[in-house]
Amino acid sequence: MKWLRDQTLAPIVDKVEAGERLTFEDGLRLFHTRDLNALMRLANLRKERMHGDKVFFVHSMRLEFTNVCYVGCAFCAFAAHKDEDRAWDYSPDEVVEQVRRRYLPGITELHMSSGHHPNHKWEYYPAMVRQLREAFPDLQVKAFTAAEIEHLSKISKKPTLEVLRELKDAGLSAMPGGGAEIFADRVRKQVAKNKVKADKWLQIHREAHSLGMRTNATMLYGHIETLEERLDHMDRLRKVQDETGGFHAFIPLAFQPLGNTLAQNLGKTDFTTGLDDLRNLAVARIYLDNFPHIKGYWVMIGSELTQVSLDWGVSDIDGTIQEEHIAHAAGATSPMALSEEGMIRMIQHAGRTPVLRDAYYNELQTFSMRETEAAD
């Protein structure tokens, strides 16, 4: 293989070309290779076999209904104590009002994740979902990370499966992938010691899948984890996906290093580097052969790099969002929102075909090149 600078990748190239699964050792080799061109080609091959040149995005709204949280994760700059000036906490009526205030025609997905509030009763949560669905019947509510579901299980004294069932009955459409952080114990103990344990996070997603609910999975990288721990994280997800097939997307979340204790303790104010972000996305695309989508999250890696990532295995770039506070509290320099036109242009200028999707990944509209030329 003349184009291969790192000849030790040859057996991996054979496997990817044959559509075969990589071993853990193969994954590590990909993480450590300096042949980034090969990595990009392999990720793109996997991606194009699944989706051709399509890239998916959603017209979405983010809403964090409270930033009050008692968990104290070391990477978090978003959480506030309930008596702080910067704390907010919306009632279900106020949540509906916030959505009404920001609502734009065409929005299909409302993505909500928030803090673990110390005082809200269980009833607050299904009431919020129910009121939202009554006020906006066409809005698909993607909400509550597995960490939040565990919290709801504690306050309601109901098993997590029952919590999920009742939220689904109230109208919950899908679950976001947050709260996964890094599964490896060594890291989890240091960055998220009071949060849902790794096995429980995975179990809650299994349970959601068993109810027919689709979910996502994230990985917060670029802090104290090793490359082996990143791959271990992906490996645990690949195993669950083999069992259930219920994950839509894997979303690497680049560590935003400002205003949190992890950054202060590490003396670290650097963001992840562009090539680390791309490498991570590419390894994910190649290794997670059973995940339909790898998502490039423009809020955390910027829209410019997200556009480049479309050659590195990314088939989904999340949504228009409108307002985001978790990453921005920790120093994200991306804008708060992108327009639908901006997302379409970003994808088309990368030579790909934008597909507007909803929270269930139904394809709502495809924007062919001809339409862009007409629009430009």
Q: Does 318 bind ligand V47 (CB under 6 A)?
A: yes
Q: Does 241 bind ligand V47 (CB under 6 A)?
A: no
Q: Is the CB of 145 or the CB of 320 nearer to ligand V47?
A: 145
Q: Does 144 bind ligand V47 (CB under 6 A)?
A: no
# binding residues, ligand V47 (CB under 6 A): 24
Phi–psi pair at 325, nearest 5 degrees:
-120, -20
- Sort 376 into a burial class: Cβ within 10 Å, 0-12 / 13-18 / 19+: exposed
Question: Scanning the structure block, which residue is given the tokens 């919306």?
Answer: 90
Crossing angle between the packed helical segments 124-135 and 160-170, to the nearest 10 degrees: 20
The Cα diameter of the chain in Å comes to 63
Q: Does 57 bind ligand V47 (CB under 6 A)?
A: no
Output the residue with the shortest Cβ distance to ligand V47: 178
Q: Does 367 bind ligand V47 (CB under 6 A)?
A: no
Crossing angle between the packed helical segments 124-135 and 92-102, to the nearest 10 degrees: 30
User: What is the bridge-based pairing of β-strands 363-366 and 353-357?
Assistant: antiparallel
Among 177, 246, 292, 313, binds ligand V47 (CB under 6 A): 177
Q: Which of residues 329-348 bind ligand V47 (CB under 6 A)?
A: 330
Q: Does 61 bind ligand V47 (CB under 6 A)?
A: no
Beta bridge partners of 319: 58
Residue 118 per-residue DSSP state: S
**Structure tokens of 359?**
């929270």
**Structure tokens of 4?**
């291969």
Contact map string, positions 179 to 218, toward ligand V47, x by CB under 6 A: x-x----------------------------------x-x
Q: Which of residues 260-299 bind ligand V47 (CB under 6 A)?
A: 260, 297
How far apart are CB 153 and ligand V47 at their closest, in Å?
Answer: 17
Binding stretches for ligand V47 (CB under 6 A): 75-77, 113, 145, 176-179, 181, 216, 218, 220, 251, 253, 255-256, 260, 297, 300, 318, 326-327, 330
